[in-house]
Homo-oligomer: A and B are copies of this chain.
Amino acid sequence: MDRRQRKTREAIFHAFTKLLSQKDFNQITVGEIIEVADIGRATFYSHFETKDYLLKAFCEELFCHIFDTENDDPHGHRHIFDCDGSDSVFLHLFQHLQKNDNNILALLASQNNDLFLKYFRANLETLVESQLSLFERPTNIPEAFWKNHIISTFIETLKWWIAGGMIETPELITEYFFSVV
């Protein structure tokens, strides 16, 4: 990939991240992104069709970083699925989210973030499926409902944590989460 393209793309992502820490996604205008990234208008639109496609690309990189099982972790980064038996992947995920790389928390807490939540849910789906054996499903409800409930509960737990200022430890939040599912 052309170095210019790479630099522009990174400048856009960087500007987007910065703006996300200041305001909600749909309060951010393309004009602002262009200004902060210091690029031309046509350049932005040559990279991303619309602002929604920027979010899509952003989420894909983000979730790839958080969820992807394929990378080798050459920098000693402890992977979400790669933990010993004493703690759960959910604890690890809460810990990871607390660090707030890439301003994922801003996206989670923001208004009108349905698109982001859609991507987040889709990625959680795989994770929850792989961990379904951890949860005891009541026999009278369908598995699809149960799975949806676990995913929803995880997201709502996370939102509750963020809304309260994240004063609890990831361990405690994980305990809360498991207590209600």
A interface list, Cβ under 8 A from B: 26, 111-115, 138, 140-141, 145-146, 148-149, 152-153, 156-157, 160, 175-176, 179-181
Contact = CB atoms under 8 A, between A and B. Distances in A.
Given A153-B149, A153-B152, A160-B148, A141 B176 contact: yes
B175 A140 contact: yes
Main secondary structure of the interface of A (DSSP, over half): helix
Copies in the complex: 2
Nearest to A181: B180
Contact of A114 (B111, B146, B160, B175): B111
B141 A180 contact: yes
A152 B156 contact: yes
A1 to B, nearest CB: 33
A160 B149 CA distance: 9
Nearest to A110: B114
A114 B180 CA distance: 24
A175 B157 CA distance: 23
20 contacts: A26-B112, A111-B114, A111-B115, A112-B112, A113-B114, A114-B114, A140-B175, A141-B179, A141-B180, A145-B176, A148-B156, A148-B160, A149-B153, A149-B156, A149-B157, A149-B160, A149-B180, A152-B156, A156-B156, A180-B181
